[in-house]
């Protein structure tokens, strides 16, 4: 009986935590335009294999945005906006400083690519520095979450989980009440049978 109670409590807690996490994911995703920020770090999705094996396709990475974008050195991994308005995360293989205008020009290369990128990256196009934090495959889920179908699903799933949690809690209460009633009726004395 005690094991059943522990399992029941664990399931209730787990369902509630999943509900809270899904609601938080929806709110953060919508508030940030689909790109969440946690404690000052931007979370980005990697959709190519150019940085494998260090960063796998479909991973999420944490970036540290802001600061002096001319501070980077050879070997640093940065995320920058390309001429086609696509975010790219590559490693710096060469740095040229233009002190006259206070800008740096970075030659970048994907770790998995054979050669350096075609055009140098201006420090004004750098979004942030890769922190080394990556979680494989979560990026696929994040991309789905910001799509129209994903947004709808993320609005419906928390509501369904809340409904399931309410139904489960109600069922538990009914079962407990029935057991109490059965226990009370079993302990009542039987009426005397006149003979």
pLDDT of res. 135? 85
User: Could you tell me if residue 14 is inside a domain?
Assistant: no
Residues 61/134, Cβ–Cβ less than 8 Å = yes
User: Could you tell me if residue 166 is inside a domain?
Assistant: no
User: Could you tell me if residue 80 is inside a domain?
Assistant: yes
User: Could you tell me if residue 112 is inside a domain?
Assistant: yes
In 3D space, the residue among 63, 65, 64, 24 whose CA is nearest the CA of residue 44 turns out to be 63
- Model's pTM, two decimal places? 0.61
pLDDT of res. 122? 94
Name the catalytic one among 32, 48, 82, 151: 48
Q: Is 36 exposed, middle or buried (0-12, 13-18, 19+ CB in 10 A)?
A: buried
User: Could you tell me if residue 104 is inside a domain?
Assistant: yes
User: Could you tell me if residue 157 is inside a domain?
Assistant: no
Q: Is 8 a known active-site residue? A: no
CATH of the domain at 127: 2.10.109.10
- In a structure prediction context, what are the per-residue pLDDT tens digits for the chain, which is 195 residues long? 677 778 877 877 876 776 676 666 656 655 655 566 777 888 888 889 999 999 999 888 999 998 899 999 999 999 999 989 999 999 999 999 988 888 999 999 999 999 999 899 999 999 999 999 998 887 787 777 667 777 677 677 777 877 887 888 888 888 888 888 776 666 656 566 655
Strand partners for 107: 94
Domain count, the chain: 1
Q: How far is CA 188 from the centre of its chain?
A: 57
**Where in the sequence is the domain holding 107, given as residue range(s)?**
28-149
């Amino acid at each position: 009986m005690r094991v059943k109670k522990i399992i029941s409590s664990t399931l209730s807690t787990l369902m509630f935590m999943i509900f809270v996490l899904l609601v938080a994911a929806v709110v953060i995703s919508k508030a940030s335009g689909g790109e969440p920020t946690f404690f000052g770090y931007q979370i980005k999705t990697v959709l190519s294999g150019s940085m494998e094996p260090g960063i796998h396709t479909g991973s999420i990475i944490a970036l540290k945005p802001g600061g002096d974008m001319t501070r980077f050195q050879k070997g640093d991994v940065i995320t920058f906006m390309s001429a086609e308005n696509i975010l790219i995360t590559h490693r710096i293989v060469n740095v040229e400083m233009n002190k006259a205008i206070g800008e740096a020009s970075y030659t970048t290369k994907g770790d998995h690519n054979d050669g350096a990128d075609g055009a140098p990256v201006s420090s004004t196009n750098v979004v942030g520095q890769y922190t080394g934090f990556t979680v494989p495959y979560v990026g696929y889920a994040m991309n789905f979450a910001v799509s129209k179908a994903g947004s709808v699903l993320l609005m419906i799933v928390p509501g369904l989980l809340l409904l399931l949690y309410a139904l489960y809690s109600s069922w538990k209460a009914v079962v407990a009440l029935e057991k109490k009633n059965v226990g009370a009726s079993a302990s009542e004395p039987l009426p005397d049978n006149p003979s």
